[in-house]
Structure 1
């Protein structure tokens, strides 16, 4: 039984709060665990799922999308097509975010070299590459 974790142990290993684990159970992102004397008991698989959830959330997936990734596909669509459609849409969305992040990184990097005292002054000096001269 060493591969069985209490909610406190799971929360500590996953670096999240026990209330977050209970919330994930309530919305179906992770399955309800077995109980021993009324206390939740989790497997290491649940820890893996929580780590996947955290990675997906940090990449911009919402809870509904994560549930779909983990289990919620329509039975009439084969899994490879389901994953392909979702992955294609999410890749497009992440590329758009990446472009915005890259643009902001350039603005900040250029701003570190700018000696202007206002945005208006800086914008009037920006060349075609977006660099303030």
Structure 2
């Protein structure tokens, strides 16, 4: 940071916790994982920039979207340090996450569409269930429910 933050720019850990709805231990956990970085006061107390409120909020949203802490850390590393991220900074992160969300939506739609047929057939047989790949046609493409995770059945 080019200029030292003023006292009004900094929030104690308890205030960050209160304003984000998290416990102090959760804030420390995010610090330990390298997702946020406090500034230490002369007495060794943690102080956070006001912009860290946005970072913590992003962490919570990203976790709801299914991003791992490593993925969240990588996205947060794209943000500027020492200043409040701008709308442009956040748009860059949003664009990076959008493809992941679109892929999740597509997978959920495939699951939903194929699940109705499976429940309706009542067979409960792995050999004939469309969800689990009748005749094991997709075995060559790898383990698991290949049709649900995006593989099309051979035609």
Query: In 1, Cα distance between the equivalents of 2:110 and 2:50?
Result: 37
Match of 1:128 in 2: none
Q: What secondary structure sits across from 1:60 in the alignment?
A: coil
CA distance in 2, matches of 1:85, 1:48: 17
Match of 1:8 in 2: 14
Partner of 1:71: 77
Shift of 1:99: 2.0
2:53 aligned with 1:43: no
1:84/1:64 Cα in 2 relative to 1: closer, same or farther (>3 Å)?
Answer: same
1:3 offset after TM fit, Å? Answer: 3.2
Give the TM-score of the pair, scaled to structure 2: 0.52
Deviation of the 1:100 alpha carbon: 6.3
Aligned pairs, number: 103
- Root mean square deviation, CA, Å: 3.5
SS at match of 1:5: strand
Q: Counterpart of 1:41 in 2: which secondary structure?
A: strand
| Residues 1:29 and 2:39 are matched in the alignment | no
The one-character-per-residue Cα deviations of 1:98-133 (angstroms, maximum 9, x if unpaired) are: 4268x29x97xxxxxxxxxxxx8x755xxxxxxxxx
Gaps of 5+ in 2: 1-6, 79-91, 123-155
Shift of 1:96: 3.8
The answer to whether residue 18 in structure 2 is matched with residue 20 in structure 1 is: no
Tell me, yes or no, if the aligned pair for 2:38 and 2:47 is still in contact at 8 Å. no
Change (3 A) 1:88 1:44: closer
TM-score, with structure 1 as normaliser: 0.60
1:68-107 matches, within 5 Å, as: 68-71=74-77, 87=97, 90-99=100-109, 103=112
Compute the displacement of 1:44 (Å): 0.8
